[in-house]
A and B are shown apart, each in its own frame.
Chain A
C-alpha cells in the first residue's frame, strides 16, 4: 500500500517535504495506525504520537487525505491511495506528524474545565436524575484530540482569541451539569466578540469528530443561554 507522508525535522531539514512509502501489509493490519507502525519499522525516523490504538486517548489525530481523523480508528480499506498524511492543520509543527498543541490546551484551560460547586460537599454523592445526567451525553466523551479545532477556519485565524469547538464543547459540558454553580461566570467568560461568537456554524468540527460529537450544537446552546440571560 502506498503512502505520502509529511516530513519535517527542524534539526536537519530546511523545509518540510512529502516522502513516499510503500508498505507490505499483513491481514491483521486493519487500521491506518497499523500501517504507520509498519512504516516506522522501515524508517525509524518517522515521528508521530500514538497510545491506546482504540480511539479513546486522542493522541494520533492527523490530517488523512485532506480530512482530520484518528489514525487508529481509520480503516485502511476505506482510504484512497497514495494515502496522504499531514500534521493537523493550523498548529505549529514540531516534527513530522507531531504538532505543538499548546494553543489548543490553552483554550481548553481558559474555559475553567472543572466543576464549580462551593457548597460544602455532602456526606454522600450529589444527587442527579438520570435525565439530568443524560444532558452530559455527547459532551463528556470528548478525547481532546483536536481534530475539530484544527479543522475550524475561525480557529485557524484566531487561535489565541477564539476558544474553538473543543473548548466550547467542554464549556457547555459544565454549563449543562446540574451540579455546577458557575453558569454566570462561565457565560461572562465567553461574552466576547471572539471567544464564542467567532463560530460561524461552518460545522467542520461535526464532520471530523472521531467520537461523533456535535460541538456546533453545544455552541448553539451556549448562544441561546447568552440570549436568554440578556432578556
Chain B
C-alpha cells in the first residue's frame, strides 16, 4: 500500500516543472541556467516524453529557402486557428520562433542542411507566402525525426546545466492555498509507491496532451492529460477543449503518425479511384491545406463511398514518385513506420491512412508569458499566482480552433522559454515561500486510499475502454447534435464509474495498474470537458464541425470556452484580436 500516513515528506524548491517533454525541458533549462533551485518531475525518463515522436519540423520564418517573414507566419497561424487564436500570443510566438530555433541549433540539434550550410526548411500544411498566395518552406527539420532530435538536444543541454530530475515520479494533485495561490504538487514515486509533497513558489505544468481519451490516436500511452486533470480538480477552468486536431495521416488501423512532411516533400492523397481529391476541396494549397480541412475532405471521401482499402475506410498517401533517394534522405522514419505498421514499402506502394486524433488545441488557460489566467472579479484573465503552463497542456491560445503543422514545436520552445523567464521574474519579486495549507496532501492521499480499499469495483481498463469508445463515436471529425448530447450523458455516466475503479494489484513497487487508474482520473476530466464544451458550441469552426450549424458564427461564437469541473459549468471569454504591434487580422472567409 502507498504511503498514506499523515507524515507525508515535504521537499522545498524554488520552482517545480511537471513534465520533461519539449516545453518542460526548455523551461527547466532557462531556470537551471539562471541558478534557480528547480525540480523536474516526469512519469518517464525525459527522452521518452512524447515530443520524441514529432516528425516533420518546427516552424520559424528563417527565410533560408527564399523570402519569408513573421508577418506571413502570423497570418497563416491566425487563419489556421479559424480566428480563435489570440493575436497577441500568436505575434509573440512567431516573432520569437527564429531565435528559439537558432538557439536549439547552438545547443547541438542536428538539423538538416542546405548547400550553403544553413538549416533546411520544408513546406508544410497551411504555411504560405504573401498571405496565402502559395506554399512557403518554413519547417526546420531533422529528416522526419525532428522531435526526437529536439528532445534529445534539450535533454543533453539540461545535463550540461545540471538540472535536477525526478524520473518516474507522477504528479498527483496541485496544491493551492485558500487564496488560490499555487504552492506545488503532490507526487508519487513509481518505483517505491511513496508520496511526497513538492513545495515551491512557482509550479509549471508541461504535461502534454490527452489524446488517449480517444481509442484511435497518434498519441503515446503516457498522454493522459495529467496536468489538465490536476488543474480541473483544483478549480482551474480548461479552455477550448472542444477543439481536437485529427491529423489527416495516421496509419489506418494502427494510428501511428505519418508526418505532413510527406505531403510537404511532394506526396499527395488519393481516393479509391486514384483521384487527387484535395484539388476539389482546396484548389490553391491542395494537399497542404490546414489539417482540419484535409481531414474533413478525407472523411467526406470515405463517407461518400470513395474510400480505399477492402472496407473502403481509408485513403491512400502516395509518395513513390518522390523516389527512393529523397524518401531515404528526407523521410527515412516514414519508410520504417510504413513497412512495420502498414506492411507497405512507400517506395513502391501508397500508405493507407485515416484522420487520427493527434493534438489538443485547448488546455489550461494562460497568457503569452505562460502565466495561468482565470476569470476573477470581472477580469477575464486574472493571473493565478505561482502557476504556469506551457506546451500542449497550456492554451495561450496560439492554435485556436486548429493548429498548423510545425507550430506545436514552435509553441513548446517559445512558451517553455517564456514561462521559464516569467518564473525567474516572479521568484525575484516574491522571495518568501508561503506555508503549505494543512490539507496539502489530502486530495491525493484520499484518491490513493480509495484505490487501495475499493472492492467490487470495475476494472479501470474496462472503464477506460468505454470512455475511449464513447469519445471516438460521439466527438469525431464530424459532429451531430444528437450524438453530442448523448455523448455528454454517457461520459457523465462513465465519469461516475471512474470513482469506483478497482485495481487488483496492491504492490508498492512499480505498480503500473495504480498509475493507469490514477491517469484515468485525469483523462475523464478531459473527456468531460471536451464533450460538454463541444455540445455547447453551436457553430462550425476549425476542428469543431457540426452537422446542424455549418460555418463559423462570429457574431455569437468568436469567444473562448472555459469549462469548470464543478457542475460541468461553462463560461466564455473574448478572443484577443489585438496583436502586440502588428495590425489586427480581421476575421474573413477561410479557404485554401
Question: Could you tell me which A residues sit within 8 Å of B by CB distance?
Answer: 9-12, 28, 30, 40-41, 43-45, 47-59, 73, 75, 94-96, 98, 101, 105, 109, 112-115, 117, 121, 123-130, 132-133, 136, 140-141, 143-144, 174, 177, 179-180
B558 within 8 A of A: no
Q: Is the CB of A44 within 8 A of B221?
A: no
Partner of B159, one of A95, A96, A109, A140: A109
Contact (A56, B52) CB under 8 Å given A12-B507, A140-B152, A144-B47: yes
B533 to chain A, nearest CB (A): 28
Interface of A, helix, strand, loop or mixed by DSSP? loop
Bound together, the chains give a CA A56 to CA B256 distance in angstroms of: 11
Question: Could you tell me which B residues sit within 8 Å of A by CB distance?
Answer: 44-45, 47-50, 52-53, 102-103, 105-108, 110-119, 142, 145, 148-149, 152-153, 156-157, 159-160, 191, 220-222, 253-254, 256-257, 333, 336-337, 340-341, 459-461, 503-505, 507-513
Q: Which residues of B contact A174 (CB under 8 A)?
A: 108
* Listed A/B pairs (25) with beta-carbon separation below 8 Å: A10-B509, A12-B507, A28-B253, A30-B254, A41-B461, A45-B504, A50-B221, A54-B341, A56-B145, A58-B47, A59-B48, A75-B340, A94-B191, A105-B45, A115-B106, A115-B156, A117-B106, A124-B118, A125-B102, A125-B111, A129-B117, A133-B111, A133-B113, A177-B110, A179-B108
Q: Is the CB of B220 within 8 A of A125?
A: no
Contact (A11, B108) CB under 8 Å given A56-B53, A144-B47: no
Q: Which residues of A contact B337 (CB under 8 A)?
A: 54
Q: Is the CB of A59 within 8 A of B44?
A: yes
A166 to chain B, nearest CB (A): 12
Q: Is the CB of A115 within 8 A of B107?
A: yes
Q: Is the CB of A55 within 8 A of B115?
A: no
Q: Is the CB of B44 within 8 A of A49?
A: yes
Q: Which residues of B contact A28 (CB under 8 A)?
A: 253-254
Q: Is the CB of A95 within 8 A of B108?
A: no
B547 to chain A, nearest CB (A): 29
Bound together, the chains give a CA A130 to CA B115 distance in angstroms of: 6
Bound together, the chains give a CA A126 to CA B220 distance in angstroms of: 33
Bound together, the chains give a CA A30 to CA B340 distance in angstroms of: 10
The closest CB in chain A to the CB of B513 belongs to A44
Bound together, the chains give a CA A3 to CA B153 distance in angstroms of: 38
Contact (A52, B220) CB under 8 Å given A44-B513, A58-B47, A114-B156: yes
Q: Which residues of B contact A177 (CB under 8 A)?
A: 108, 110
Q: A54-B257, A130-B112 are in contact. List 5 more A-B contacts (CB 8 A).
A: A11-B509, A52-B48, A125-B102, A143-B52, A144-B47
Bound together, the chains give a CA A45 to CA B509 distance in angstroms of: 10
Partner of A47, one of B149, B220, B510: B510
A221 to chain B, nearest CB (A): 17
Q: Which residues of B contact A133 (CB under 8 A)?
A: 110-113
Interface centre among B108, B459, B461, B504 (most CB of A within 10 A): B108
Bound together, the chains give a CA A94 to CA B508 distance in angstroms of: 11
Sort A-B residue pairs by CB-CB distance and give the 7 closest, nearest first: A115-B108, A127-B117, A45-B505, A44-B513, A114-B156, A57-B48, A125-B105
Q: Is the CB of A51 within 8 A of B509?
A: no
Q: Is the CB of B108 within 8 A of A114?
A: yes
B72 to chain A, nearest CB (A): 19
Q: Is the CB of B160 within 8 A of A114?
A: yes
Q: Is the CB of A130 within 8 A of B341?
A: no
Q: Which residues of A contact B160 (CB under 8 A)?
A: 112, 114
Bound together, the chains give a CA A167 to CA B10 distance in angstroms of: 35
Partner of A128, one of B113, B149, B253: B113
Bound together, the chains give a CA A73 to CA B336 distance in angstroms of: 10
Q: Which residues of B contact A117 (CB under 8 A)?
A: 106
Bound together, the chains give a CA A11 to CA B50 distance in angstroms of: 31
B467 to chain A, nearest CB (A): 15
Q: Which residues of A contact B113 (CB under 8 A)?
A: 127-130, 132-133
Q: Which residues of A contact B221 (CB under 8 A)?
A: 50-53
Q: Which residues of A contact B142 (CB under 8 A)?
A: 140
Q: Which residues of B contact A144 (CB under 8 A)?
A: 45, 47
Q: Which residues of B contact A143 (CB under 8 A)?
A: 47, 52, 148
Q: Which residues of A contact B153 (CB under 8 A)?
A: 115
Interface centre among A51, A105, A129 (most CB of B within 10 A): A51
Q: Which residues of B contact A115 (CB under 8 A)?
A: 106-108, 153, 156
Bound together, the chains give a CA A129 to CA B257 distance in angstroms of: 30
A176 to chain B, nearest CB (A): 10
Bound together, the chains give a CA A43 to CA B461 distance in angstroms of: 11
B220 to chain A, nearest CB (A): 4
B224 to chain A, nearest CB (A): 11
Q: Which residues of A contact B159 (CB under 8 A)?
A: 109, 113-114
Bound together, the chains give a CA A45 to CA B149 distance in angstroms of: 34
Q: Is the CB of B513 within 8 A of A57?
A: no
Q: Is the CB of B459 within 8 A of A41?
A: yes
Bound together, the chains give a CA A53 to CA B222 distance in angstroms of: 10
Q: Is the CB of A95 within 8 A of B157?
A: no
Q: Is the CB of B510 within 8 A of A94?
A: yes
The closest CB in chain A to the CB of B99 belongs to A123
A91 to chain B, nearest CB (A): 14
Contact (A101, B45) CB under 8 Å given A44-B459, A129-B115: yes
Q: Which residues of B contact A11 (CB under 8 A)?
A: 507-509
The closest CB in chain B to the CB of A75 belongs to B340
Bound together, the chains give a CA A9 to CA B257 distance in angstroms of: 35
Contact (A48, B512) CB under 8 Å given A9-B507, A53-B221: yes
Bound together, the chains give a CA A55 to CA B52 distance in angstroms of: 10
Q: Which residues of B contact A130 (CB under 8 A)?
A: 112-115
Bound together, the chains give a CA A52 to CA B149 distance in angstroms of: 16
The closest CB in chain A to the CB of B257 belongs to A54
Q: Is the CB of B44 within 8 A of A140?
A: no
Q: Is the CB of A53 within 8 A of B106?
A: no
Q: Is the CB of A40 within 8 A of B461?
A: yes
Q: Which residues of B contact A127 (CB under 8 A)?
A: 113, 116-118
